Amino acid sequence: MGVGLSFLGILVLGYAGVCAAYFLLQERLIFVRGDLSDGYRFKFQYPFEERYVKADDGNALHALYFPVEEGTPKGVVLYFHGNTGTLRRWGRRAPRFTRLGWEVLMPDPRGYGKSRGKLSEAALLDDAWTWYAELSKQWPEGDIVLYGRSLGCALAIPTAGRGEPKLLVLESPFGRLVDAAHHYFRWLPYTLLLRFTFDNCQRIQAVRCPICILHGEKDAVVPFSSALRLYSCIPSDRQRELIAFPKGHHSDLARFVRFNRKIRTLLGG
């Protein structure tokens, strides 16, 4: 009996230790960041410029702007990238849009690349809106497309809810951050541990523009069921569409002809 109680006590202590470790390390697990020096020079084989804005708390936020090389641009895509890597990596996605005649503004969230500041959910959402407001000085809102990729969807959705963009495109989104967390370790009490909720299901109800969700059914990072839940939360009177890729995973949707065809259709390419 004593041995059994001792073993149980060890299990309880071990579980508590894992919970404590997750609570303390969650920023590093959710935001897989890398910083760049202020003097770092990006190397892309197509035109771009660096842009900065000041966050509400005074920190410097950094983005890259990719212009259309030929002809008159149709509009601009505000692209919020995923949780891993900086613009040094994500900037390679820009030609997907510039080739179709759309310019691209791609920010690094605070703590990534050359963007500075302490992380919090409120600060990240405020920063996203700051970029949208800044872009609105150059472009009419009706010419702005918001594009979210994975974690970036949690920035694109509330921004679309506050503004009046032309379109909201969500690639591999989740309904709530806890959905993705449960997909990894179901036995942790995430509702008690997570300091970041990113409740897209609640926030998407404020979005009034057309919404298109693209998601792989074999996604091992964000379960397809979470995207279905997110879609179900969009009011039925809104223009909405969910396109599933039966063989798609989390980061490979661009390899499908149907994905690229849909992007061309959405952007009038």
Characterize the bridge pairing of strands 49-54 and 60-66. Answer: antiparallel
> Could you tell me the two tokens for 33?
């960041």
Helix (H) or strand (E) holding 225: helix 224-232
Exposure string (b/e) for 223-251, b if CB count within 10 Å is 16 or more?
Answer: bbebbbbbbebbeeeeebebeebeebebb
Topology, domain 31-267: Rossmann fold (3.40.50)
pLDDT at 27 (0 to 100): 74
pLDDT at 70 (0 to 100): 86
Exposure string (b/e) for 181-216, b if CB count within 10 Å is 16 or more?
Answer: bbbeeeebebeeebebebbbbebbeebebebbbbbb
pLDDT at 268 (0 to 100): 86
Rounded CA gap, 11 and 252, in Å? 39
DSSP state of 53: E
What single-letter amino acid sits at 241?
E
List the one residue out of 96, 85, 91 whose CA is nearest residue 255: 96
Q: Which residues of the chain fall below pLDDT 70? A: 1-26, 182-193, 269
Rounded CA gap, 260 and 254, in Å? 6
**Which residues face 148 on adjacent strands?**
80, 170
pTM over 0.75: yes
Rounded CA gap, 208 and 197, in Å? 22
Rounded CA gap, 70 and 176, in Å? 40
